[in-house]
Amino acid sequence: MEGILYALVPMFAWGLIGFTSNKIGGTANQQTLGLTLGALFFAFVSWVIVQPEMSMTLWIVGIIGGLLWSVGQNGQFHAMKYMGVSVAQPLSSGSQLVLGSLIGALAFQEWTKPIQFILGIFALIILLIGFFFSSRRDTANDTTSLENRDFPKGFRALTYSTLGYVSYAVLFNNIMKFEALSVLLPMAIGMVLGALLFMRCNLSYEPIIFKNAVVGLLWGTGNIFMLLAAAEAGLAIAFSFSQLGAVISIVAGILFLGEKKTKKELQWITIGTILFVLGAILLGIVKSY
């Protein structure tokens, strides 16, 4: 039970990242930089407290991983601007699950048992159907839900976001494996460097950037409790619960960010969310075999 309670923290912390950033405001690039500055502060404090052993390999790989992560987060922030938090977040999380699972199964032989392939393929199909319903639009009955929305640009942003996130995950989970608290500081430095590249190294920081630093604290808190949850309840439970943060983003986007939905769109989003939750849980079960 304690492990499940730990797992709820990253679900809420990471699920609130998109909502909090969009509530604070700023451009996608400003949001990315603010988040990474907050993450760097969190990582530095953690490093001072824990004082883990650091190798040159860890520093290099950690910084590269942080750069890849910044690509993923920047694309996700852009997608939220174009599509809304309630649409972009579940599509982002789901696409990471699908692509990451396929790479793990096909390239790194993470699925070796017949039951893993059966459940895994079924989970991916459920996720794909969930994608369809989550992004479906009711254009015939109500145009107000489409105000300031640009879905083609949103899908392009999600494409490079997913590639960045999955590359980062593959690097740390399949190619190189480090203790999360050890790699946190190098990764945070890479995240800031990536964010500065998106800002074209413009060092004239606006107040909105520092306000977004609180989002980095959410990111760091989620990381710490993800470790605790994995230690207490196993990686499968921690993984599944963390991905359900997309549900928090959907609810927050609609209720608190004023993202307008027609009655049909709300029904479709509900169906997509249920399918997404089922798919994420099934993939967690696959990882537990």
- Structural domain boundaries in the chain: 2-288
- Dump pLDDT digits (tens) for 185-211: 999 999 999 999 998 866 667 899 999
Q: How far apart are CA 45 and CA 232, in angstroms?
A: 24
Name the least confident of 101-105, 136-140, 175-179, 193-197: 136-140
> Whole-angstrom Cα distance, residue 61 to residue 76?
23
User: What pLDDT digit, counting tens, does each position of 53-96 carry?
Assistant: 899 999 999 999 999 999 999 999 999 999 988 889 888 988 98
For residue 269, how many C-alpha atoms fall within 13 Å in the half-sphere facing its CB? 25
Model confidence pTM above 0.85: yes
What is the spatial distance between Cα 52 and Cα 193, in angstroms, rounded to a whole number? 22
pLDDT confidence of residue 146: 52
- Binned at pLDDT 50, 70 and 90, residue 230 comes out as confident
With 60 as the cut, is the pLDDT of residue 142 above it? no
Segment of 89-98, 184-193, 224-233, 248-257 carrying the highest mean pLDDT: 184-193
In Å, how far from its chain's centre is CA 89?
Answer: 8
Structure tokens at 240: 């599944």
Looking at residue 21, its pLDDT comes to 94
Token look-up 């793990």 returns: 104
Position 239 pLDDT exceeds 80: no
Per the prediction, the chain carries an average pLDDT of 87
Residue-wise pLDDT for 151-180, tens only, equals 899 999 999 999 999 999 889 877 888 887
What is the per-residue pLDDT for 238?
A: 72
How high is the pLDDT of residue 277? Answer: 85
Query: CA–CA separation, 221 vs 187, rounded Å?
Result: 15
d(CA 272, CA 266): 10
Has residue 46 got a pLDDT over 60?
A: yes
